[in-house]
Amino acid sequence: MDDKKLDSVLHENRQFAPSEEFASTASVTPESYKELYQKSIQDPEAFWADVASELHWFKPWDTVLDESEKPFFKWFSGGTTNIAYNCIDRHLDGPSRNKAALIWEGEPGDSRVLTYFDLYREVNQFANALKKLGVQKGDRVAFYLPMIPELAIGILACARIGAVHSVIFAGFSADSIRDRVLDMEAKVVITSDGSWRRGKLLTLKNTVDTALEGVDCVSDVIIVKRGQGEPFPCHVQEGRDHWYHRLIDGLPIHCEASEQEAEDMLFLLYTSGTTGKPKGIIHSTGGYQTYAYLTAKHVFDLKPEDVYWCTADIGWITGHSYLVYGPLLNGATCLMYEGAPNYPDNGRFWEIVEKYAVSIFYTAPTAIRAFMKWGDQWPEKYDLSSLRLLGTVGEPINPEAWIWYNEKIGAEKCPIVDTWWQTETGGIMLTPLPGVTPTKPGSCCHPFFGVDPAILQEDGTETDGGLLSIRKPWPGIMRGIYGDPERFKATYWSKWDGEYYFPGDGAKKDEDGYFWVLGRVDDVVNVSGHRIGTAELESVFVEHEATAESAVIGVPHEIKGQGLVAFVTLKEGVTATPELEKELAGFVAQKIGKFAVPERIIFSADLPKTRSGKIMRRLLRDIAEGRALGNVTTLADPSVVSDLQKHYEED
Ligand code: WTA
């Protein structure tokens, strides 16, 4: 975050208390909050055991928390359960049986509503289809699907039979799919013939075909037909590829839920880190379900009559925990939308809110800033009076966007929950509770139950502005990095001798004890809420034959929060041309995905380096943000900087 923004955030003193009306029916009250929070910190095992008991266990656990192999914590050891059973079967005996579980709207305007019993049937058939292909407990199944019901159904089907799901966001390129499929050694890949995005048909199956060239571990590919009519043309490889609708034809609608050990792996989700290689974050069953359940229940104050809409894609953690698992564990009605927020026009989200009388709406600051830019006339056209609670996630929200959200979408009557968390934490960690916490625009307020945060300096002393850290394990915490336990320890647990979890974010605590998360302190850039490792991008650039060296930095961006700027030096004899710039952009799109293409690619004769040869990214950031340049005496060649600065400003 740049200095100006930081300054405006830290001088933000406005407070917004929940209305009495909201507070009077909220699931947590100020009194119960204090008591419960205290219990959750003083006796976490008793606290989490009570929560876990609200879900179904085939066999109760022996130990709530086993810290013997710290930081590889184990929760609910000895217990067996099934998260898909808890999401669906648990709601079938009561009035929820015929309640809408999933309301889906396709981009072209088609829609589907699945009740809890519909979901039961669909998930079980999908599970039986996977079994028919020989998928067994522990096998990895990769998904490369658009936001269609079969994505939610498919991951629940995996959970039902104990297979490990790994969703690859549909914006990733074939190369990225291949890397992930190989890393997880996926047995089956599930994709679709197509998907709609801004009125254009995307042909996902073709991308999967390219990704799987020469890949041996995948025995079968399932193709879900996106539309109701004829499938969109795509190649079907005899023996390997199966149309989903044919595969499930005639399969039973019952499938016994596998008794999963609490620590059995539930899913893998790849995320960018500070090195070139994305890491497969491991989440397990019993702890994750307990944490997703309780956070969804209290942060969103879910009521039986709510229509809850989380706009995140299931390709990211938010879609896992708060579109599928958390709300379904609570028996809620979830809305899922396939397409873009500005198709066919900028009012599409608000049209959907009106159409389905959405009452809880959870989105990202980048979307809010885009809506602000598009103008008030869009939300004003629609009846948004059904909304009662708003949320944001994914990046810091600037107070201006928060205030706009509060006034124009929430009509100043909806609490806003600004939720800080990560792929690695499994669920929400810092957040207001909507009936309890007076909110401050831009602050994610306080820790959730059982979360014990601290702000530390590098040397481990507590401070009110520094590095965010978490002291105690919580049930939703990641269980490791797939195939790389050492990297898990080094990345998250090495900073303070294994005593604190280090999420990689900087934070500040104000005089009222409110937390303000300021952004990443490592080389990860948050572009529209998508985490992109600069090292990953740099290694893509140098893979290109024209490039000698590259340094990528994040810069403030009005809509995206952060944008990417790449500084690239070319090999001897290669000339910098606009065509080459385009080619490099295309190369990034091919290697990672379009969303990772930098805003600007700047060719430069050299990069600023220390005498020991380290690229000084701080200086590049100073140049990009137009700041006065600090000390450059450690530079091997100080003239590089003035050249670069000139270049940057002229470009
Ligand atoms: C950032 C998304 C400020 C943070 C759930 C974190 C936030 C990274 C917030 C995780 C927030 C997420 N305020 N920053 N409310 N929420 N972040 O893994 O830098 O995609 O480390 O998980 O997003 O991104 P991830």
CB distance 354 to 210 below 8 Å:
no
pLDDT digits (tens, 9 = 90+) for 109-153: 999 999 999 999 999 999 999 999 999 999 999 999 999 999 999
Q: How far is the CA of 393 from the centre of ligand 1 (A)?
A: 7
Q: Whose CA is nearest to atom 22 of ligand 1?
A: 422
Closest CA to 409 of 449, 366, 354: 354
Q: Which long-range contacts (CB under 8 A, 24 or more apart) does 109-115 make?
A: 110/227, 110/228, 112/149, 114/149
Q: How far is the CA of 547 from the centre of ligand 1 (A)?
A: 32
Q: How far apart are CA 90 and CA 58, in angstroms?
A: 12
Closest ligand 1 atom to 524 CA: 19
In a domain, 274, yes or no: no
pLDDT digits (tens, 9 = 90+) for 354-376: 999 999 999 999 999 999 999 99
pTM greater than the 0.85 cutoff: yes
User: CATH number for the domain including 577?
Assistant: 3.30.300.30
Closest CA to 334 of 349, 356, 315: 356
Bridge partners, residue 532, by sequence: 525
Residue 437 Cβ inside 6 Å of ligand 1? The answer reads no
Closest CA to 603 of 527, 564, 546, 540: 546
Bridge partners, residue 455, by sequence: 468
Q: Whose CA is nearest to atom 15 of ligand 1?
A: 420
DSSP E strands: which ranges in 277-431? 279-284, 307-310, 333-337, 360-363, 389-393, 416-419, 430-431
Q: How far apart are CA 275 and CA 603, in angstroms?
A: 23
C-alpha distances in Å from residue 433, one per residue of 270, 365, 549, 624: 29, 19, 47, 38
Q: How many distinct structural domains can be found in the chain?
A: 1
In a domain, 586, yes or no: yes
Q: How far apart are CA 639 and CA 626, in angstroms?
A: 17
Q: How far is the CA of 492 from the centre of ligand 1 (A)?
A: 15
Q: How far is the CA of 106 from the centre of ligand 1 (A)?
A: 27
In a domain, 597, yes or no: yes
Residue 479 Cβ inside 6 Å of ligand 1? The answer reads no
Burial class of residue 69 in the structure, from the number of CB atoms within 10 Å of its CB (0-12 exposed, 13-18 middle, 19+ buried): exposed
Q: How far apart are CA 627 and CA 6, in angstroms?
A: 15
Pocket test for ligand 1, best of 279, 526, 534 (most atoms within 8 A of CB): 526
pLDDT band at 275 (very low <50, low <70, confident <90, very high): confident
Which pLDDT value is given to residue 4? 58
Residue 271 Cβ inside 6 Å of ligand 1? The answer reads yes
Q: How far apart are CA 200 and CA 340, in angstroms?
A: 11
Q: How far is the CA of 505 from the centre of ligand 1 (A)?
A: 9
pLDDT band at 532 (very low <50, low <70, confident <90, very high): very high
Which pLDDT value is given to residue 611? 81
Residue 317 Cβ inside 6 Å of ligand 1? The answer reads yes
pLDDT digits (tens, 9 = 90+) for 153-185: 999 999 999 999 999 999 999 999 999 999 999
Q: Whose CA is nearest to atom 7 of ligand 1?
A: 395
Closest ligand 1 atom to 531 CA: 20
In a domain, 181, yes or no: no
Q: How far is the CA of 131 from the centre of ligand 1 (A)?
A: 36
Closest ligand 1 atom to 271 CA: 18
Enter the tokens of residue 481.
Answer: 């990095």
Whether residue 27 has pLDDT greater than 80: yes
Q: Where are the alpha helices (DSSP H) in 11-110?
A: 20-25, 30-42, 44-52, 83-87
Q: How far is the CA of 350 from the centre of ligand 1 (A)?
A: 25
Q: How far is the CA of 510 from the centre of ligand 1 (A)?
A: 20
Residue 395 Cβ inside 6 Å of ligand 1? The answer reads yes
Closest ligand 1 atom to 503 CA: 21
Q: How far is the CA of 439 from the centre of ligand 1 (A)?
A: 18
**Percent of the residues in the chain that have a pLDDT greater than 90, as a whole number:** 86
Q: How far apart are CA 8 and CA 398, in angstroms?
A: 8
Residue 518 Cβ inside 6 Å of ligand 1? The answer reads no
Residue 278 Cβ inside 6 Å of ligand 1? The answer reads no
Instruction: Tell me the average pLDDT across 592-606.
Output: 92
Single-letter amino acid, residue 456: L
The domain in which residue 555 lies consists of 544-650
pLDDT digits (tens, 9 = 90+) for 184-226: 999 999 999 999 999 998 899 999 999 999 999 999 999 999 9
**SS3 per residue for 165-188:** EEECCCCECHHHHHHHHHHHCCCE
Give the strand order in the sheet containing 265-271. 241-243, 220-224, 188-192, 140-144, 164-167, 265-271, 279-284, 480-481
Chain centre distance of CA 453: 21
Q: How far apart are CA 265 and CA 137, in angstroms?
A: 10
Residue 394 Cβ inside 6 Å of ligand 1? The answer reads yes
Q: Where are the alpha helices (DSSP H) in 302-443?
A: 317-319, 326-329, 348-356, 365-374, 377-380, 399-404
Which pLDDT value is given to residue 362? 98
pLDDT digits (tens, 9 = 90+) for 218-255: 999 999 999 878 888 899 999 999 999 999 999 999 99
pLDDT band at 633 (very low <50, low <70, confident <90, very high): low
Q: How far is the CA of 7 from the centre of ligand 1 (A)?
A: 20
In a domain, 345, yes or no: no
C-alpha distances in Å from residue 414, one per residue of 29, 97, 296, 405: 16, 30, 17, 10
Whether residue 609 has pLDDT greater than 90: no
CB distance 368 to 401 below 8 Å:
yes
Q: How far is the CA of 577 from the centre of ligand 1 (A)?
A: 37
In a domain, 553, yes or no: yes
Q: Per the omega criterion (within 30 degrees of 0), is the bond before 344 cis?
A: yes
Pocket test for ligand 1, best of 393, 402, 440 (most atoms within 8 A of CB): 393
Residue 318 Cβ inside 6 Å of ligand 1? The answer reads yes
Which pLDDT value is given to residue 2? 52
Closest CA to 201 of 235, 234, 232: 232
Pocket test for ligand 1, best of 299, 321, 323, 395 (most atoms within 8 A of CB): 395
Q: Whose CA is nearest to atom 5 of ligand 1?
A: 422
In a domain, 240, yes or no: no
In a domain, 311, yes or no: no
Residue 517 Cβ inside 6 Å of ligand 1? The answer reads yes
Q: How far is the CA of 524 from the centre of ligand 1 (A)?
A: 11
Whether residue 257 has pLDDT greater than 80: yes
Pocket test for ligand 1, best of 279, 420, 595 (most atoms within 8 A of CB): 420
Region label for 491, one of left (φ > 0), alpha (ψ between -120 and 50) or beta (otherwise):
alpha
